[in-house]
Structure 1
Amino acid sequence: MHQALWLLLETLGSLLATACLLRAYMNRVGLGARNPVGQFVVAITDWLVRPLRRVLPAGRTVDWASIMAGFVVSLVLAVLFVALFGGGRFPAPGAVLMLSVFWLFKWSLWLLTALVLMQAVLSWVNPHAPIAPTIAALTRPFLAPIRRVVPPIGGVDLSPLVLILLVQVLLTLLQSLLPGMMAFAR
């Protein structure tokens, strides 16, 4: 029963936190709510970000309220994880904080992977889709440096493949560091 409940909580929490991070990133690259992705992200995160904006106003380049909203969601999720699987004892607050930061970073990398996959599929299937320019603008800062190093081969852009491979390596390294980080945080 705990596993099913955790699956539901983790899925909903990670999607909400990732949407908050996407909102912050969209503001960073200058894509507000004037596009379909922005409208969706604002609609599902506004209830959480708006109250935080009173305390943490948006900076010139960083949307602190959206980042904090994602962190709050990951922190609540980490506390729920410990409550469900902690064996009745409360861990050190540092362990819960480290777990929530770890999850936030992991979700950011998965968000990047999803955006790159969507951009690659859209470029093959329907490059003129209304969402395509937004996805391209979100992935461009990550793909541009790779495109300078890896030229198209036979007219095929391999930079999304290289980026996804690099992100997967980062996720693997991050996952291998988790036990050590948790032991350090206790």
Structure 2
Amino acid sequence: MNSSPLIMLVKVLCNLYLFVVLLRLVLQLTRADFYNPVSQGIVKATSPFVLPLRKIIPSIGRLDTATLVLAFVVQLLTVFLVVFLQNAAMPPVGYAIYTVAGTLYHLLDLYFWAMLISVILSWVAPGASHPGALLVGQITAPLYRLCQRFIPPLGGLDLSPIFIFLAISFLKQVLAPYSI
């Protein structure tokens, strides 16, 4: 697929905002510290779109459906713009598939990078008190706990990141053809 610089720019900008929206969703699901300065920046960047949606779309339990809908809308807009800029056509079902699969792909990508940062921080600065490091720890802790129920740490060696990376990589490979 030949990509023009304009298409690349649209994809980068839209995917960057989608990353921030998904980060807000993950922070809410993991009940991360919202008084953290990084969390406050994420909330401020997404609130202009999330707050009006909350008036229309109620939350379901801990799931902020307004933020989830915003993530889908941003991904749908990305797919639409890329298809439009390529002078191509896609059936409505194709838009739905690319929107859902692309959003899941980017969510997995977010967790991949969070896991990578977490592993590097555990080597370089264990117990770091930087606001970003604390948020990464809060985001990845549920994944570690889930994996450690099946694969407990062996002495001082925790193998759960390896299996989490494998699972994320496998799922990303499945979704890769549908991500834009």
TM-score above 0.5:
yes
The residue number in structure 2 matching 1:182 is none
Q: Does the 8 Å CA contact 2:102/2:175 hold for their aligned counterparts?
A: no
Q: Per-residue CA shift, 1:82-102, capped at 9, x if unaligned?
A: 101243xx3211111211111
**1:119 alignment partner AA:** S
Q: Does the 8 Å CA contact 1:122/1:129 hold for their aligned counterparts?
A: no
Q: Point out the more displaced range, 127-136 or 156-165.
A: 127-136
Displacement, 1:121?
Answer: 1.4
The residue number in structure 1 matching 2:41 is 40
Q: Does the 8 Å CA contact 2:108/2:168 hold for their aligned counterparts?
A: yes
Superposition pairs of residues 20-169 of structure 1, within 5 angstroms: 20-31=21-32, 33-87=34-88, 90-126=89-125, 127-131=127-131, 132-153=133-154, 155-169=156-170
Displacement, 1:34?
Answer: 1.1
**1:68 alignment partner AA:** V
List runs of 5+ in structure 2 lacking aligned partners: none
Q: Does the 8 Å CA contact 1:48/1:69 hold for their aligned counterparts?
A: yes
Q: Does the 8 Å CA contact 2:11/2:78 hold for their aligned counterparts?
A: yes
Identity of aligned residues (%): 29
Which whole-Å CA distance do the structure 1 matches of 2:52 and 2:139 have between them?
26
Give the direction of change, closer, same or farther, for the CA distance of 1:14–1:67 in structure 2 (3 Å limit).
Answer: same
Q: SS state of the match for residue 130, structure 2?
A: coil
Give the direction of change, closer, same or farther, for the CA distance of 1:55–1:92 in structure 2 (3 Å limit).
Answer: same
Q: Considering only aligned residues, what root-mean-square deviation do their CA atoms show, in Å?
A: 2.2
Q: Does the 8 Å CA contact 2:80/2:95 hold for their aligned counterparts?
A: yes
Displacement, 1:70?
Answer: 0.8
Displacement, 1:49?
Answer: 1.1
Displacement, 1:2?
Answer: 5.2
The residue number in structure 2 matching 1:8 is 9
**1:143 alignment partner AA:** Y
The residue number in structure 2 matching 1:184 is none
**1:18 alignment partner AA:** F
Give the structure-1-normalised TM-score.
0.84
Q: Does the 8 Å CA contact 1:75/1:96 hold for their aligned counterparts?
A: yes
**2:164 alignment partner AA:** L
Displacement, 1:153?
Answer: 4.6
User: More relative contact order in 1 or in 2 (CA 8 Å, sep 6+)?
Assistant: 2
Displacement, 1:110?
Answer: 0.1
Q: Per-residue CA shift, 1:60-99, capped at 9, x if unaligned?
A: 3110111111111111111101101243xx3211111211
